[in-house]
Amino acid sequence: MDRFKDGHGFPHEIGLFLGYPLDDVKGFIKNKGRNYTLCGLWKVYGDLGDAKEKFEEYKQCREHCLECLRQGQSVLQLILAD
């Protein structure tokens, strides 16, 4: 919380809670956001193949959720869906 209060921006470690791979979070911090191998939903410093697979999975999930919303489902229904 001190980083927010002091105006130093968003703590990069939050990426771990968002599901970003540890190697990518550590790489981002170490490289100050530069020297990445791929920039997609996050900047990739670790396993490129794994990141590409995850990006595709997230894309498919996003498209599915958007289609459900277009068909009239609520966000709550999406969250509670099996």
Q: How many helices (H) and strands (E) does the chain have?
A: 5, 2
Pairwise CA distance, residues 33 & 44, whole Å = 10
Look over the chain and give the mean of its residue pLDDT values, rounded to a whole number.
90
pTM, entire model: 0.77
pLDDT at 11 (0 to 100): 86
pLDDT at 7 (0 to 100): 58
pLDDT at 81 (0 to 100): 81
Reported in sequence order, the residue ranges of the chain that DSSP labels E, i.e. its strands, are 38-39, 43-44
Fill in the DSSP letter of residue 13.
T
